[in-house]
Amino acid sequence: MGEGHTFMHLTYELDERSLAQSTRSRIIDTTLATFGVANDDGELRLDVPDESFGDALFAFVQALVKITDVKFLTHERVKSAFFDDFLDFLAETVPESRRQFDFHDPEHDPDGKYKIDCRINQLPKPLFVFGITNDGNCRDATIALLQFERWNVTHQALAIFAAQEDINRQVLARFSDVCDKFFSSLPANRDRIEKYLWELVGSRA
């Protein structure tokens, strides 16, 4: 049963690579396992034991309904999915030896009050990368960057937003004063961000 149409329709509204990662991927995999459906490179298959076609059809339809629900995740769960995707994206794009997640400056900030989501090192200026999901998150990043300025710690900053249009204009304006480069979202700019990072780092993960 199945010809891959469910995943094809999901990619109309969601970036195809985001379906293969993190929160959405776990939801889909759990759903398929629950109903005994196999994913054969995007084509969904379900064995029918003892010619129990009625039961098999019911299970298959239930699985399709649950999978389709992925695009109706609540706003907060979408943001949670974004941050998982953000971290996975950096892990895939930047070599492990060049990145440090959840970074704080051990000399100036031993208690970790001003954390950076990811520090990319071995550059003339270390790159501080932030995943921005909401106004509070954006304010925290602004404060952290201002503090590093006060410490005279050389750096450059990159921000990737879950959805830049959701950020308050004043909050965004203050952040843009201290952030060197940002992208409005991850799915729509993935190739551009990859190119930007590869040009800085000089190699892929």
User: Quick one: 66 and 116 in the same domain?
Assistant: no
Q: In the listed set 20, 54, 72, which residue is the last one of a domain according to the structure?
A: 72
User: Quick one: 133 and 177 in the same domain?
Assistant: yes
Angle, helices 22-34/75-93, rounded to nearest 10 degrees: 110
Predicted local confidence at residue 71, as pLDDT: 56
Q: In the listed set 72, 103, 129, which residue is the last one of a domain according to the structure?
A: 72
- Higher confidence at residue 144 or residue 63? 144
pLDDT (mean) for 111-118 = 96
Alpha carbons 203 and 93: distance in angstroms, whole number: 9
Predicted local confidence at residue 22, as pLDDT: 52
Decide: 70 and 83 in contact? Cβ < 8 Å: no
Number of structural domains in the chain: 2
User: Quick one: 148 and 66 in the same domain?
Assistant: no
Predicted local confidence at residue 144, as pLDDT: 97
pLDDT at 64 over 50: yes
Catalogue the E-assigned strands of the chain. 38-40, 43-45, 99-103, 116-120, 127-132, 156-161, 181-183
pLDDT (mean) for 34-45 = 79
For residue range 75-86, what is the model confidence (pLDDT) as tens digits? 555 566 788 899
Strand 38-40 to 116-120 pairing: unpaired
Percent of the chain with pLDDT over 90: 54
Alpha carbons 67 and 14: distance in angstroms, whole number: 13
User: Quick one: 96 and 41 in the same domain?
Assistant: no
Domain that holds residue 124: 76-201
Q: In the listed set 72, 87, 102, which residue is the last one of a domain according to the structure?
A: 72
pLDDT confidence of 47, banded at 50, 70, 90? confident
For residue range 116-150, what is the model confidence (pLDDT) as tens digits? 999 999 999 999 999 999 999 999 999 999 999 99
User: Quick one: 68 and 81 in the same domain?
Assistant: no
Predicted local confidence at residue 72, as pLDDT: 54
pLDDT (mean) for 155-159 = 97
pLDDT (mean) for 104-119 = 95
User: Quick one: 43 and 24 in the same domain?
Assistant: yes
CATH of the domain at 189: 3.40.1350
